[in-house]
Amino acid sequence: MLLTPERTGRAIAAGCALFAQIWCCAAGARADGLPEGFVYLRDVAPSIVQDMRYAGPDNFTGKPVPGYGAAECVLQRSAAEALARAQDKAKSRGFSLKVYDCYRPIRAVRAFVAWAAAPEDGRTKRYYPRLGKSRLVPGYIASQSQHSIGFTVDLTIVPAAAATSKDPEQEGDCTAPGAGDGSLGMGTAFDCFDPKANTASPLLTPAERKNRGLLLSIVEGAGFKNYAAEWWHFSYPGSDERRYDFVIGSGTAF
């Protein structure tokens, strides 16, 4: 068969497409840039509010964190589906879940450790009002994170009526009443490096204790387990123990 320029072009294009498909599968990636097993939470539970703090400057480092190329919650599928069940329970009570962080790239964890080792500048002191920066590692900032596996999530509860509102940047001491972001009062803001952030802290008011109990009931009822040092931190059981370092929203898995 005579290959015309048009047929030659189609053959080259088909060959390139086949090569790209083979390369993608070999790398364990999909067209959405996620490794096998991972999903965007918005595709599984779109009604959950996302306030992804490390994709912007409203976090304890004071700037966007490496690895967060998009303000998207990414999780292993089983954890995302469990979170969807928790959201159904929250909605039945007139609330919504709001996630602060989900999958966390290894490079982000390294950036946290580097930030803690850098000289104090006081810009984000509100996140650790009673501690010196040097005391945050390893007590509060670890060199490895369960978030990097994809089964761990940081979250809170907001009234359903306020679920779509834009959250202001946090201001003031993180242990002050209210989180400043429209969520239920939990006694501290998210990522507050302080003993008051312990889930069962004795420093809480009755209302704050009740709100934390509600969060525990909803999220642990879906199969997650809370980390006792941080009221917002929950992990779902999974068989995958590998820590990942793909960039969120980059379009490439590794």
Residue in 81, 171, 230, 241 annotated catalytic: 230
pLDDT in tens, 61-72: 999 999 999 999
Whether the Cβ atoms of residue 62 and residue 116 lie closer than 8 Å to each other: no
Phi-psi region of 35 (alpha: psi -120 to 50; beta: other; left: phi over 0): beta
Report whether pLDDT(12) > 90. no
Helix (H, G, I), strand (E, B) or coil at 97: strand
11: pLDDT strictly greater than 80: no
Kindly list the structural domains of the chain, giving each domain's residue range(s) and its CATH number in brackets, ordered by start: 35-235 (3.30.1380.10)
Give the per-residue pLDDT at 139: 84
208 catalytic per annotation = no
> Taking Cα atoms as reference points, which of 177, 178, 184 lies closest to residue 160?
184
Tokens representing 104 are 């966390």
Confidence of residue 169 (pLDDT cuts 50, 70, 90): low
The pLDDT tens digits for 180-212 are 688 999 999 999 999 999 999 999 999 999 999
> pLDDT, tens digit, for every residue of 141-164?
999 999 999 999 999 999 987 655
Tell me the pLDDT tens digit for each residue of 214-252: 999 999 999 999 999 999 999 999 989 999 999 998 654
Alpha carbon distances (Å) from 11 to 2, 14, 19, 22, 45: 13, 5, 12, 17, 41
Mean predicted lDDT score pLDDT of the chain: 86
At residue 42, the pLDDT reads: 97
Query: How many alpha carbons fall within 13 Å on the CB side of residue 154?
Result: 19
